[in-house]
Each structure stands twice: as C-alpha cells, then as structure tokens.
Structure 1
Amino acid sequence: MTADFAGKTVLITGAAAGIGRAIAFAAAREGARLVLGDVDAAGLDETVASAELKGIEVISACCDVRSQDDLDSLFAKSAAGFGHPDVVYANAGILGQPADVWAQSEADFQRHIDINLVGTWRTFKAALPKMIERKSGVLVATASVAGLVGASGLAAYVASKHAILGLVKSTALNVAKHGIRVNALCPHMVDTPMLDRLFGGDAAIREALKAMNPMGRNASCEEVAEAALFLGSSRSGYITGTHLAVDGGHIAQ
C-alpha cells in the first residue's frame, strides 16, 4: 500500500466491467475508498459484491453519464459517505459497431458524442467546484489511442475521443492554479467485453489485430489500471494537460 491512495476517496464511472472495474480494484488495493457508478446495474452489483467480499469500503449508484442529475447524485452520495472524491476517473464510454461515415445515423453519432465526450464534461462539471474549493484533486479521463490516430469505420468514436483530449487540455489549464491536475488515459486494444462486442466474438479478427501490434498482444485491464493509478497519484504530480498512451507501441509505428 502507498500513501497516495490510503484513506482517499476515488470515484469511477463505467465501473461495472473492464477498465473501470480494474481501476477500482487497483485503487482499493492501495487503500482507497470507492465510489462507483455505471448504467449497467447488474454489472455494477457484481463489482460491488466482489469489492465487499474483499473488505473494500464502497458506495455505488446506477449512473448514466448522459444525465447531470445522475452524476450530481453520485457525487452527493460520495460526499455524504466518504467525503468529496480526491481522484475521479471519468471512464464511462461506448464503442459501438463499425459503420461507414455516410451510412451512420445521426442518432448513433450523437450518442457517441453524448456519452463519451459530454459525459466526461458532465463528470468534470460535477467534480470541479468542490475540488476548487478544497484546492486539490485529480481528474483522469479515459480517452483512447483513437484520440491520437484515426480508425476507419469508427468516425464517431474517434471524433469523441479526440475531443476528450481537447477537453482535458483546456480544463487542465483552467484549473491548474487551483492545485488540480487533469490528464487522459489512452489505451489501445484491451481485452474487455467491449472489444468482444466490437468483433462479435470473431477470433480470427482478434488474432489479426494482435499481430499488428509491436508487442503482438492486447493489453490487460490490469495493465491499463496501473497506468491510471500513476496518473491519479502524486507520482505524476507535475503532469497535467496531457495523455498517457498504453498501447504496446502502436502509435510509434
């Protein structure tokens, strides 16, 4: 256990599975109290049950990041139970199915923007006033390597993740004088249920994509969570307004 998370309150959106769940357990291992939200109530219940079996202090609520009321309620539950969060991981997001730009519906495109980008902004909006009042806090947004490079057939996802990086940079400059840091996490292919849904369980596609990565494999959720903990800790105390790629060398090619 390190002093960075011991006794601190860590709030995570999109905590029902995948990267969000892994961040939760990694932070708790370091002594954090958890505040978890997700629109997937069943998955969130599983995460909470696993946490409680490990003796982890946890508060949770079903939370749709398309609703400012849901987010404000989650932060209020945190404040009432553990205090306002010290570290917030704005992790909730969707990937959707590949589609040609001209064939994608406006509703589907807008859904990506509303959840991935505006959902991150809403999370920041809920977190920042108290952090500014306290003059401390860390925000980490889950973007993607798709926020750094393009990907054919995923225009809405790529656009939303590029925009998150802009939001992070602007917000970081806005709040640096208040002692608050803001950064983005940019994973590449990660072994998650989201990735399974993208490829429809097609093992051949998964293996082909692994072969294209310099390390020849996907990341594990736990590897991404360790990078997330670094960004949330004092070990990255002079880092703000930037991103950390967890990509096996993908964008170095």
Structure 2
Amino acid sequence: MPGRLSDEVVLVTGAARGIGRAIATKAAEEGASVALLDVLADQLATTTAELEQSGATVAAAVGDITDEDSVRRAVAELAKALGRPITVLVNNAGKNSYADATEMTVADWDSVFDVDLKGAWLVARSVLPAMIEAKHGAIVNIASIHSQLTTAGMFPYAAAKAGLVGMTRSLALDVAPHGIRVNAVSPGFIATDLLEEFFDAIPGARETALTVHPLGRIGTPEDVAEVVCFLASKAAAFVTGANWSVDGGLGIRYA
C-alpha cells in the first residue's frame, strides 16, 4: 500500500539526530523522498547512510539555517539531487536557552532567536515559491510546550517558541489561498539530547518530569514523528494554522 507521503519531497531541518532524525525516518517509511539539512556533518552522514541502507530516496546537505545564503544553496542543492522541488518542510532545528534576562547579551539573545525563529522563516521563504507555483505544499514547525507553558530558568526559549507558533498562524493565513497548509507541533518532554541538556541545567527537573506526566512516561522522537507526518499528509487536508501538543497530557494538568 502507498504510504501517506508517497510522491512528496520532505525537507527536515536538524535531521541529524533526535526528533529530526525520527521524522526523516518516518517520512521515508511513508514513501517520501527525504532531504536532510543540518550543521552536524558527521551525524548527518551517519543518518543519511542509515536511510540509504533502508532503501529510502534521500539527499543531505550541511548548512546553517540562520544564514540566508547557506539556506538558499542547501535548498537548491537538495532539490537538484532529488530531481524535484520541496513539497513538505519540517522546521525542526532548534536551540535551548538557559539565560538570565538581566545578564544575557544581545548576541546571546540573537543566537536563540536566529535558530528557533528566524531560521524557520528563512527556510520557509526558500521553499515556498515552488510550493506556491505548484499550489501544493505543507509546512510543519516544531515548536514546544514552552510556547504556552514554561518554567523558570528557560529564558528566552519560551518567547522564541511562542513566536514560532505565531508565525505558523500568520503564514497559514497568507499561503492558504495557494493550497498550502502550515501547522505547528509542540512536543513536551521527549527523550533527546536537548532534553538531557534541560535536565542537566535545571536542578530537580528530571525527577519532577517523571512524576507529573498523566501517561506516566517521557515521550519518544517517534511519538512526535507520527504526528508530524500525519499533519504533512493529505490525511490532514483540512488542518492549517493549528498547534498540536504532543506532551503526554502534561499541558492539561492544573498543578
């Protein structure tokens, strides 16, 4: 049976590890040609080789999503390698932040927003012309539970992710007339390297997290990938401008 993403070309940023890697793997399983973009060259090569060994149609590029020239080159390179323009974009690349609002520098602030917000716009800007011309496409932005609920010690990560959700809604309205859908997914606690960074940075966070999830466990990258690939597919043809939580019910708790 054809997969949900047959005939799609799916670009995943931050694809070398964690959630991005799981999304790329699931998209390939669903029949997509997969384009991988990351700054981590060695890990990207490993992920690419594993996908190739599974029989997936895959291309990879090392690039920096915060640099518009790098984005432009990478998108062109990937589309050329796969023989078709990008039809689905998953803006997954992200950066945690644990700053003091009174002490962080402007450069520190910019480094967070460059990756978590500006980079998503730069990649979307690069792939949208082809989507608009084809009147077909989908974008899924990986936001965070921190876009709605947050904790002390995560400044200004919540602001950047809230901005990404706002960008999702705004962009969804602008491109809807062209048959393009834009949605966000907000993971909660997902077993990734970034979560380990969070647990290491916030005293007691690990112990608290293991006790407060209604479903009684930490999520997996594959949990997120399933939802992302659904939203990218025709099965979600009437869903746009939405922000889907993948948090094990954490966001519905009163306390």
Superposition TM-score tier, normalisation by shorter sequence: over 0.9
The aligned counterpart of 1:248 is 248
Distance 1:145 1:58, change over 3 A: same
Deviation at 1:56, TM superposition (A): 1.3
CA distance in 1, matches of 2:213, 2:138: 31
CA distance in 2, matches of 1:33, 1:20: 15
Q: 1:41 aligned to 2:41?
A: yes
Partner amino acid for 1:172? A
SS at 1:184's partner residue?
Answer: strand
> How many residues in Structure 1 have an aligned counterpart in Structure 2?
252
Q: Answer yes or no: is the 8 Å Cα contact 2:96–2:112 preserved in 1.
A: yes
The aligned counterpart of 1:186 is 186
The aligned counterpart of 1:90 is 91
Deviation at 1:211, TM superposition (A): 0.9
The aligned counterpart of 1:107 is 107
Q: 1:51 aligned to 2:37?
A: no
Where do 4+ consecutive residues of structure 1 move more than 4 Å?
201-204
Partner amino acid for 1:247? D
Partner amino acid for 1:27? A
CA distance in 1, matches of 2:168, 2:205: 32
Once the two structures are overlaid, the 10-residue window that deviates more, 50-59 or 137-146, is 50-59
Structure 1 unaligned regions, length at least 5: none
Q: Answer yes or no: is the 8 Å Cα contact 2:99–2:156 preserved in 1.
A: no
Structure 2 unaligned regions, length at least 5: none
Distance 1:163 1:203, change over 3 A: closer
The aligned counterpart of 1:177 is 177
The aligned counterpart of 1:219 is 219
Q: Answer yes or no: is the 8 Å Cα contact 2:11–2:34 preserved in 1.
A: yes
CA distance in 2, matches of 1:73, 1:202: 38
Matches within 5 A, 1:1-253: 1-82=1-82, 83-96=84-97, 98-200=98-200, 205-253=205-253
Q: Answer yes or no: is the 8 Å Cα contact 1:184–1:244 preserved in 2.
A: yes
CA distance in 2, matches of 1:146, 1:95: 11
Partner amino acid for 1:58? V
CA distance in 1, matches of 2:207, 2:42: 30
SS at 2:95's partner residue?
Answer: coil
Partner amino acid for 1:77? E
SS at 1:146's partner residue?
Answer: helix
Q: What do the CA deviations read for 1:190-225 (whole angstroms, capped 9, x no partner)?
A: 000111122239996423212122222211000010
Q: Answer yes or no: is the 8 Å Cα contact 2:14–2:39 preserved in 1.
A: yes
* RMSD between aligned residues: 1.7
Deviation at 1:72, TM superposition (A): 1.3
Deviation at 1:52, TM superposition (A): 1.3
TM-score, structure 2 length as denominator? 0.94
Over the matched positions of the two proteins, sequence identity in percent amounts to 38
CA distance in 1, matches of 2:102, 2:217: 32
TM-score, structure 1 length as denominator? 0.95
Q: Answer yes or no: is the 8 Å Cα contact 1:101–1:153 preserved in 2.
A: no
